[in-house]
């Protein structure tokens, strides 16, 4: 068949099943968003559990929530927002095809993600020292024996939610490391930077989850505690 | 590829707004607004989410299909949260014999 000679060579930016590069890019973006929506529902279940138990035991949840260090939480939020800025600048560098800038901003994002996880580990260690880890040795000062269980519920949800968030950060860090390796080898150009774009979406999504975790876990009952 | 490339200035301004909102939500948490403390905290969180989604995640430049998927996802989350909340708040309204 003569038409074979006219068929354009397949490239990363245009696989043979797509009509145009724009169509392929839109399909990739849509697929990533559908994955992120499933993640929203995944975290949504935990947010729902938190909402239900906070309503059942509002006083204990307020006391337990106020034991978290709000300044560390706020500082970590700033760190994560900085990493989102460097991530979006990496995506911008990729759109413009600037390989060295992509690598620089991805490395910065990875470092900031590492700082966030380090601070989180410090906070978890604090909980361990204070016996605030749910389990046989759990003890929350100032609460009666019948209230310890409700405080354990708060900390169970705290560890489930921040733990699942941290797991997403670890996966994100792995993906960033892969991107840095690929970017250094010159895989991304202004024509083809889909992986940078999609992992950027993932990173910002994990940021949004923290944007909600921070006020719900650290802030909303802060005013109830008398100094 | 004809992609929309935002300026660095746009991103830095959005970032500054996000930092400002983080400081604001932390500061306002220490003020006793009664039940509005939760409303305030969540309203600020939603603003931050919109800034990140529209600018950093490029929703404002994305296709209508992508926007529809995003809105659809949020709709299902709202069903999950609102219907459960409605159930919990209305439980005591009708007396159930034997309970």
Over the stretch B62-95, which tens digit does the pLDDT of each residue have?
999 999 999 999 999 999 999 999 998 888 788 7
Mean pLDDT of chain B: 91
pTM of the model: 0.92
Residue A211 with chain B: CB contacts under 8 Å = 45, 48-49, 52
Over the stretch B33-58, which tens digit does the pLDDT of each residue have?
888 889 999 999 999 999 999 999 99
- Taking an 8 Å cut-off on Cβ atoms, the answer to whether A211 and B15 are in contact is no
Q: Is the pLDDT of residue A131 over 50?
A: yes
Determine contact: B48 vs chain A, CB below 8 A: yes
Whole-number pLDDT of residue A96: 95
B-proximal residues of A, 11-70, CB under 8 Å:
13, 21-22, 25-26, 29-30, 33-34, 36-37, 40-41, 44-45, 47-48, 51-52, 55, 70
Q: What are the structural domain ranges in chain A?
A: 41-222
In contact, A150 and A60? CB cutoff 8 Å:
yes
User: In Å, how far is A44's CA from the nearest CA of chain B?
Assistant: 7
Mean pLDDT of chain A: 92
Over the stretch A88-116, which tens digit does the pLDDT of each residue have?
999 999 999 999 999 999 999 999 999 99
- Please choose, from the candidates A126, A117, A104, A110, the residue with its C-alpha nearest in 3D space to the C-alpha of residue A183: A104
Q: Is the pLDDT of residue A196 over 90?
A: yes
Q: Is the pLDDT of residue A5 over 60?
A: no
What's the pLDDT band for A55 if we cut at 50, 70, 90? Answer: very high
Mark A103-114 as b/e (b = at least 16 C-beta within 10 Å).
Answer: bbbbbbbbbbbe
- Percent of chain A exceeding pLDDT 90 equals 84
- Taking an 8 Å cut-off on Cβ atoms, the answer to whether B41 and A216 are in contact is yes
User: In Å, how far is B83's CA from the nearest CA of chain A?
Assistant: 11
What's the pLDDT band for A8 if we cut at 50, 70, 90? Answer: low
Whole-number pLDDT of residue B1: 42
Residue A212 with chain B: CB contacts under 8 Å = 42, 45, 49
Whole-number pLDDT of residue A139: 92
Whole-number pLDDT of residue A224: 74
Can you tell me the distance from the alpha carbon of A187 to that of B14, in angstroms, rounded to the nearest whole number? 29
What's the pLDDT band for A16 if we cut at 50, 70, 90? Answer: confident
User: In Å, how far is B97's CA from the nearest CA of chain A?
Assistant: 22
Q: What ipTM score was computed for the predicted complex, to two decimals?
A: 0.91
Q: What is the mean pLDDT of residues A174-203?
A: 96
Q: Domain A41-222, what fold?
A: 1.20.120
Q: What is the mean pLDDT of residues A119-142?
A: 94
């Amino acid at each position: 068949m003569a038409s074979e000679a006219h068929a354009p060579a397949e490239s990363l930016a245009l696989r043979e099943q797509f009509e145009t590069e724009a169509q392929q890019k839109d399909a990739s973006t849509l697929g990533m968003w559908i994955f992120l929506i499933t993640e929203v529902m995944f975290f949504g279940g935990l947010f729902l559990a938190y909402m239900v138990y906070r309503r059942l035991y509002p006083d204990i949840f307020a006391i337990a929530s106020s034991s978290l260090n709000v300044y560390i939480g706020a500082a970590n939020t700033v760190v994560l927002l900085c990493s989102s800025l460097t991530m979006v600048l990496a995506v911008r560098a990729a759109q413009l095809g600037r390989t060295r800038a992509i690598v620089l901003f991805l490395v910065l994002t990875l470092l900031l993600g590492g700082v966030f996880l380090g601070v989180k580990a410090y906070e978890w260690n604090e909980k361990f020292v204070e016996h605030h880890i749910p389990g046989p040795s759990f003890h929350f000062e100032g609460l009666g024996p019948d209230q310890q269980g409700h405080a354990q519920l708060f900390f169970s949800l705290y560890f489930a939610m921040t733990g699942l968030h941290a797991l997403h950060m670890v996966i994100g860090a792995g993906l960033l490391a892969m991107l840095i390796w690929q970017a250094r080898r010159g895989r991304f150009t202004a024509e083809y930077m889909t992986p940078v774009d999609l992992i950027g979406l993932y990173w910002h999504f994990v940021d949004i989850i923290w944007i909600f975790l921070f006020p719900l876990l650290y802030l909303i009952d802060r005013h109830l505690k008398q100094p | 590829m004809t992609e929309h490339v935002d300026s660095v200035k746009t991103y830095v301004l959005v970032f500054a707004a996000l930092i400002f909102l983080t400081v604001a939500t932390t500061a306002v948490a220490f003020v006793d607004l009664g039940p509005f403390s939760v409303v305030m905290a969540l309203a600020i969180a939603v603003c931050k989410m919109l800034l990140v989604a529209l600018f950093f995640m490029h929703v404002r430049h994305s296709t209508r299909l992508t926007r529809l998927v995003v809105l659809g996802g949020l709709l299902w989350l709202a069903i999950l949260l609102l219907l459960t909340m409605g159930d919990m708040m209305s439980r005591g309204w009708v007396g159930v014999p034997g309970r």
